[in-house]
A and B are shown apart, each in its own frame.
Chain A
Amino acid sequence: MYDDLIVLGAGPAGLAAGQYAGRAGVRVRVLEKGPSGGQMSDTFMVENYPGVGPIAGAELAALMEEQAVKFGAVITRAEVSSVRRDEQGFSLRTDSGTEYKCRALIVALGASPTKLGIPGESEFTGKGVSYCAICDAPFYRDREVAVVGGGDSAVEESVYLARFVSAVHIIHRRDRLRAIREIQEKAFREPKIQIHWSHIPVAILGKDGVEAIRIRSVKDGSEKDLPVYGVFFYVGLRPNSLEGLADLVKTDERGFIITDENMGCGIPGLFAAGDVRAKRLRQIATAVGDGALAANMAQQYLESL
């Protein structure tokens, strides 16, 4: 399969890139292993995307996909496992052995929730440890749960969980939340949410599933066990990657791709966009901006050949 431009990933960055490239007349294919939308699809409501909303994350994803396809982007469901440079540009191989080739490539692979690596976390994944409140909240109806983290996602998802559960314990290592004020206020208004300030989780306890979380005060080192049926982690993101990508790009110490101000990665024809990129703010709005710019730069690159 040969295309002028391939976009890896159909989250907001990838779909925006597909839309802009397609509308500019570039032959563009977006490769995505799952449904379009990326992390957006796992977000209950998107409240901060300008001009639309509040809107369900899955619905915004569907709208973006529709618009990209309308302007000519081809979205193909494939799980890409490796990337390498070749004489013409780039070559991608899927897990089923199909090869896709292109002259320009936009990496928009996104990011996934970080695991903390505390005892019990892997053991109880699927038995009470979750990284997706919108997926699993109904299983915790009228039970107590813990949410680890204090950023926008942690607090927003706590408010969502509160619709189902009897109590949400937010475990946060600092003495104030990082989430923006509007989200914080929603949490403070929700009587089911209790915040355990200046505490870190040290272990998840249980037999066949989660029964409690052990937390430790960062102030005095004291520990206590909170009886909970589920633990939801929102402690940040790690970039998604694939074999061969590390040879082509520079990354920061956490693995996010370093680009120039025009999304270039230092190799002609290679760009990165969205959450996979090293940057200060990971939002749908910033991802879409990255995607549009990367598509435009890719178009210019293709025209220069």
Chain B
Amino acid sequence: MAGTENLYVVGDSDFDQEILQSDIPALVDFWAAWCGPCRTVGPVVEELAEEYAGKVKIAKLNVDENQGTPTKYGVRNIPTLILFKGGQVVDQIVGAVPKSRIKDLLEKA
């Protein structure tokens, strides 16, 4: 499933290629349809995808359809946002937080 122009949708199969091997830092939003707070964060992540286009690759990963990647990164709660750089985890945020806090995370990219 394709996202909007600057918002990527990734899964277990292309996580390595799209996120870990990304030329620029990447932020992944781990989410699911059943999760209320995920619907709070979702639109904010979409806005940030536009604002950070070309600087940080911003992607969503549906944990319902992709269970390998959340397990690999120890995700036990959603929404979880993880920032990757050069294939490594830089930092993460758990739960619905204000946009300003996600921006603070992105500044670490």
Contacts and interface: CB of A to CB of B under 8 A. Distances in A.
Interface in B9-50: 32, 34-40, 43
A130 B39 contact: no
A209 B70 CA distance: 13
A210 B96 CA distance: 21
Give the 4 A-B residue pairs with the shortest CB-CB distance, closest first. Answer: A126-B94, A34-B40, A41-B36, A135-B35
Contact of A79 (B36, B64, B78, B99): B99
A270 to B, nearest CB: 24
A96 B44 CA distance: 12
Given A209-B74, A209-B76, A135 B99 contact: no
B76 A135 contact: no
A79 B44 CA distance: 11
Interface in A49-77: 57-58, 77
Q: Which of A33, A34, A127, A130 has the most CB of B within 10 A?
A: A34
Contact of B40 (A33, A126, A230): A33
Interface of A: 33-35, 37, 41-42, 57-58, 77, 79, 95-96, 125-132, 134-136, 138-140, 208-210, 229-230
A242 B37 CA distance: 19
Contact of A134 (B36, B63, B99): B36
A208 B40 contact: no
Contacts of B79: 135
B98 A95 contact: yes
B40 A135 contact: no
Contacts of B100: 95
Contacts of A208: 74
B67 to A, nearest CB: 9
Contact of B39 (A35, A128, A209, A210): A35
11 contacts: A96-B99, A125-B94, A126-B76, A126-B77, A126-B95, A129-B77, A132-B77, A135-B38, A138-B64, A209-B74, A230-B76
B76 A130 contact: yes
Contacts of A95: 98-100
Contacts of A136: 35, 76-78
